[in-house]
């Protein structure tokens, strides 16, 4: 289908009342916030989950990566599924499945059940999220679409840091004796309300491309490549890195190469091939991967250091993270309202530079001081402010050269890379953390935290260098 045909089809859709368009946006916002919070909320609750359900150290990593990896894998293909089966129908299916999977997580009797439910949560979330974005683009007139989408960056960025803080409060409140289960059960009433609103408000027709097809071979190769990488990264340390773990990671590279070759030949590729001819997009994949892998791995290590190493309560840990959230809130406002327009790409360099300084200060603090919420506050404020400057404008710069035909697939791909990189960060840096820990007391936890913090600073520095490949101004 050509761009002209798409435009003609979009124009044939009945005009949507503006008031209802804003309600559609509100429903999509709820769905996106639920997804982002669920990708981070279990981070802080991990030690409590393990204490209740048991399991090895890798249990914590699986509880986190099961959701994000499943979400990332499903997200790449689910946008095309909306064309095949209808976006409204799939949004409702995704929201229903996500809510039921959240209930299953909250009622999980054991580790295996919880991890399975987390995988289902991620898959249903992946079905839901891209349909919402697609419908927002249809229900708003072109002149208002950019205004409608402006809050997404700040809200998603703040939700990323708000998840662990919310988890700490929920664990402290211990609603109805639910302990850690409340972090999942809270999705149930929110999901029911959102589902009721979606049923009444979402449009039936949103310009689906009826000629779309799904490249099942490409999906299978991409899924295989992801699984062959994640599984050995998480299980390898516990098993002593047997030969199969190295063969599996090598197989992941082979599967990825076969996927790329398959995409070039496919009549209905999973990813729009022309995106890979744009330097900003290719560099953007690496930037997104390095940034979110280091961020998620660092978050996990900090939570483990404070809760397992120093035996802080979840509430104490969540209160300690407030300076991070405050720094992000201020930076998100500045980046969106002032800096990105005035200094362009330098906003990303400024943010990453401040974040690296914050990580260096945090490394020194962990290595040389008695850790308290007050001694950690300055470094966490700097890290929050620095990363907050990156949250808002990064996708605009990466997708600045994308055409109208490419931007939807590109945004979905970047979102998937963000989630999958988070899973890789938890798997890889979590493995580094536990490999360094000696169960003799708090000091070895400090050493493990120092190492992961240093690695996060290195990855942020690599991201800083890669940003030079992006255009000076967003489109």
**Bigger pLDDT: 225 vs 18:** 225
Q: Given CA atoms 397, 459, 410, 98 in this order, what sign does their dihedral have?
A: negative
Q: What ranges do the domains of the chain cover?
A: 15-214, 218-267, 271-475
- Say yes or no to pLDDT of 402 above 70: no
Q: Which of 162, 90, 136 is nearest to 328 (CA)?
A: 162
Structure tokens at 420: 């999958």
Position 208 scores a pLDDT of: 62
What would the DSSP string read from start to end of 359-422? HHHHHHHHHHS---HHHHHHHHHHHHHHHHHHHTTHHHHHTTT--HHHHHHHHHHHHHHHHHHH
pTM value surpassing 0.85: no
Structure tokens at 101: 């999977």
> Rounded to an integer, what distance in angstroms lies between the CA atom of residue 198 and that of residue 91?
8
Position 211 scores a pLDDT of: 65
- Say yes or no to pLDDT of 465 above 90: yes
- Say yes or no to pLDDT of 364 above 90: yes
Position 32 scores a pLDDT of: 82
Tally of CA atoms within 13 A in the half-sphere of 6 that contains its CB: 13
Position 143 scores a pLDDT of: 67
Tell me the average pLDDT across 401-430.
Answer: 74
Please report which helix (H) or strand (E) contains residue 27, including its range. helix 18-53
- The fold for domain 15-214 equals Growth Hormone; Chain: A; (1.20.1250)
> Rounded to an integer, what distance in angstroms lies between the CA atom of residue 275 and that of residue 263?
12
Position 10 scores a pLDDT of: 41
Token pair 């009444």 is found at 200
Token pair 């050509």 is found at 2
Q: Are 301 and 430 in contact (CB under 8 A)?
A: yes
Position 4 scores a pLDDT of: 37
Position 156 scores a pLDDT of: 67
The tens digit of pLDDT for each residue in 140-170 reads 776 676 667 666 666 666 677 777 888 888 8
Same-fold call for 15-214 versus 271-475: yes
- Say yes or no to pLDDT of 252 above 80: yes
CATH number of 271-475: 1.20.1250.20
Q: List all residues 6 or more positions away from 80 whose beta carbon is below 8 Å from its beta carbon.
A: 212, 213, 214, 268, 270
Structure tokens at 333: 């406002």
Q: Are 39 and 157 in contact (CB under 8 A)?
A: no
Average pLDDT, the chain: 82
> Rounded to an integer, what distance in angstroms lies between the CA atom of residue 51 and that of residue 41?
17
Tally of CA atoms within 13 A in the half-sphere of 414 that contains its CB: 25
pLDDT band, residue 444 (cuts 50/70/90): confident
Position 409 scores a pLDDT of: 67
How many helices and strands (H and E) does the chain possess? 20, 0
């Amino acid at each position: 289908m050509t761009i002209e045909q798409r435009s003609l089809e979009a124009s044939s859709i009945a005009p949507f009342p503006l008031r209802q368009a804003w309600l559609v946006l509100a429903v999509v916002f709820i769905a996106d916030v639920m997804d982002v919070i669920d990708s981070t909320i279990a981070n802080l609750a991990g030690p409590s989950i393990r204490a209740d359900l048991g399991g090895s150290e890798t249990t914590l990593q699986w509880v986190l990566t099961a959701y994000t990896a499943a979400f990332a894998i499903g997200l790449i293909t689910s946008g095309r599924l909306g064309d095949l089966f209808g976006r409204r129908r799939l949004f409702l299916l995704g929201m229903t499945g996500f809510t039921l999977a959240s209930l299953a997580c909250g009622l999980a009797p054991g580790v295996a059940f919880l991890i399975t439910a987390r995988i289902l949560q991620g898959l249903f979330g992946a079905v839901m999220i891209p349909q919402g974005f697609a419908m927002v683009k249809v229900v708003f007139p072109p002149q208002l679409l950019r205004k409608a989408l402006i809050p997404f960056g700040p809200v998603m960025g703040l939700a990323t840091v708000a998840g662990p803080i919310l988890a700490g409060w929920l664990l402290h409140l211990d609603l109805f004796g639910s302990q850690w289960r409340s972090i999942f059960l809270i999705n149930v009433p929110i999901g029911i309300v959102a589902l009721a609103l979606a049923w009444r408000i979402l449009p039936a027709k949103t310009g689906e491309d009826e000629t779309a097809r799904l490249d099942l071979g490409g999906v299978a190769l991409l899924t295989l490549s992801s699984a062959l990488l994640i599984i050995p990264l998480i299980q390898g340390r516990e098993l002593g890195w047997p030969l199969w773990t190295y063969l599996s990671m090598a197989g992941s590279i082979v599967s990825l190469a076969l996927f790329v070759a398959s995409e070039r030949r496919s009549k209905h590729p999973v990813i729009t091939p022309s995106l890979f001819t744009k330097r900003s997009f290719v560099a953007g994949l690496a930037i997104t991967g390095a940034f979110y892998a280091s961020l998620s791995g660092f978050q996990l290590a900090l939570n483990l250091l404070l809760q397992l190493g120093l035996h802080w309560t979840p509430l104490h840990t969540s209160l300690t993270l407030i300076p991070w959230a405050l720094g992000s809130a201020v930076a998100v406002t500045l980046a969106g309202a002032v800096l990105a327009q005035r200094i362009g790409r330098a906003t990303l360099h400024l943010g990453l530079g401040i974040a690296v300084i914050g990580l260096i200060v945090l490394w020194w603090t962990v290595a040389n001081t008695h850790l308290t919420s007050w001694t950690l506050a300055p470094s966490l404020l700097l890290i929050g402010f620095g990363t907050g400057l990156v949250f808002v404008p990064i996708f605009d710069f990466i997708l600045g050269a994308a055409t109208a035909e490419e931007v939807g697939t590109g945004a979905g791909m970047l979102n998937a890379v963000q989630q999958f990189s988070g899973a890789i960060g938890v798997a890889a840096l979590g493995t580094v953390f536990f490999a360094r820990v000696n169960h003799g007391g708090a000091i070895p936890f400090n050493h493990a935290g120092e190492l992961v913090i240093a690695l996060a600073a290195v990855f942020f520095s690599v991201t800083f260098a890669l940003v030079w490949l992006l255009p000076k101004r967003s489109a």
